């Protein structure tokens, strides 16, 4: 089984490298891939990246406080979600709480980079194999394997550059997210709670940005999403991401015009040159 490991930033890269190296020791037959190691010099990185995304059966997204809004990470996570089921894309959180993670990454059931969280990751990987190991055997393997990964994670320096702010004004949304995750873990998530999450403009943007979703938004919601897209475009390090954002902004401009409303005075500059995977 091929496992795509996504990262952005030095600490996330260290987590990804540890997983890429050690996961095959825990579960034989896993083939891990991360671009730092596996895109050959001189290769056409975009073609190789797309081919690997399509070939992978499982994705791990290495999250740290510094990279929660990194455009490259969001691009790879979105591409993974198109290639495999959402249940097979797992955010692996270092020094983060589940409620620190916003949409679109919050749609995935993540785990913490702890002993318990990492065991849950191995359970998910094992259950995705054609011939999964018995759980008692997997537990024995994990108990022997975990100290090596724990030491690698402990050696990653703690960053003081970014502090995740408490989001007191989003307590309701956090409660909804916790309920959804709790329900998903039991297999009986509340349809009503899922529906509440699906009402948010962010969810509609990331998941159902069609004409009906646009028409259901208020003008204030449209302006907020438009401004958010403009910020995302400026911070983007990927030409493909920039093109996608610019297309969505154009759809929003058409909706403003259809309503006879003024268009926000923000629009991307001419597209920049793609910087490649090193611009993480």
pLDDT, tens digit (0-9, with 9 covering 90-100), for 125-143? 999 888 899 999 999 999 9
pLDDT at 170: 45
267 domain residue, yes or no: no
| pLDDT at 162 > cutoff 70 | no
How many angstroms separate the CA atoms of 251 and 213, rounded? Answer: 11
| pLDDT at 73 > cutoff 50 | yes
How many angstroms separate the CA atoms of 105 and 61, rounded? Answer: 9
Domain count, the chain: 2
| pLDDT at 45 > cutoff 80 | no
Which tokens sit at 165? 């702010």
pLDDT-derived band of residue 71, with 50, 70 and 90 as boundaries?
confident
Give the global pTM.
0.59
Summary mean pLDDT of the chain: 75
Which DSSP state fits 37?
A: H
The candidate with the shortest Cα–Cα distance to 65, out of 96, 91, 90, is: 96
On whether both 142 and 11 belong to a single domain, the answer is: yes
The candidate with the shortest Cα–Cα distance to 51, out of 1, 2, 108, 104, is: 2
How many angstroms separate the CA atoms of 116 and 135, rounded? Answer: 14
| pLDDT at 152 > cutoff 80 | yes
On whether both 140 and 246 belong to a single domain, the answer is: no
pLDDT at 79: 83
Structural domain ending residue among the three candidates 146, 165, 184: 165
pLDDT at 99: 79
The rounded percent of the chain whose pLDDT value lies above 70 is 65
Task: Please report, for residues 23, 24, 48, 107, 198, the alpha-carbon distance to residue 31 in angstroms, rounded to integers and kept in the order given.
Answer: 9, 7, 16, 25, 35
266 domain residue, yes or no: no
| pLDDT at 259 > cutoff 50 | yes
| Domain enclosing residue 222, as ranges | 199-258
Q: For the CA atoms of 150, 154, 160, 166, what is the dihedral angle to 10 degrees?
A: 30
């Amino acid at each position: 089984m091929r496992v795509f490991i996504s990262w952005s930033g030095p600490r996330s890269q260290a987590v990804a490298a540890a997983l890429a190296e050690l996961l095959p020791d825990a579960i034989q037959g896993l083939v891990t891939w991360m671009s730092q190691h596996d895109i050959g010099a001189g290769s056409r990185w975009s073609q190789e990246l797309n081919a690997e995304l399509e070939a992978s059966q499982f994705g791990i997204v290495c999250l740290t406080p510094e990279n929660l809004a990194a455009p490259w990470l969001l691009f790879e996570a979105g591409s993974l979600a198109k290639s495999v089921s959402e249940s097979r894309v797992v955010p692996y959180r270092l020094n983060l709480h589940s409620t620190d993670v916003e949409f679109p990454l919050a749609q995935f059931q993540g785990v913490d980079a702890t002993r318990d969280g990492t065991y849950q990751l191995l359970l998910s990987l094992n259950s995705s194999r054609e011939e999964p190991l018995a759980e008692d055997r997997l537990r024995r393997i994990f108990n022997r394997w975990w100290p090596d990964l724990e030491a690698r994670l402990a050696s990653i320096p703690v960053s003081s550059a970014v502090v995740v702010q408490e989001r007191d004004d989003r307590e309701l949304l956090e409660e909804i997210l916790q309920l959804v995750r709790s329900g998903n873990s039991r297999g009986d998530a509340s349809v009503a709670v899922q529906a509440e999450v699906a009402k948010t403009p962010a969810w509609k943007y990331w998941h159902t940005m069609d004409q009906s979703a646009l028409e259901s938004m208020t003008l204030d919601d449209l302006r907020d999403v438009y401004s958010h897209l403009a910020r995302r475009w400026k911070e983007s390090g990927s030409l493909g991401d920039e093109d996608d954002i610019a297309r969505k902004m154009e759809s929003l401009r058409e909706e403003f015009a259809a309503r006879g409303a003024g268009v926000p005075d923000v629009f991307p500059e001419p597209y920049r040159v793609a910087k490649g995977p090193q611009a993480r």
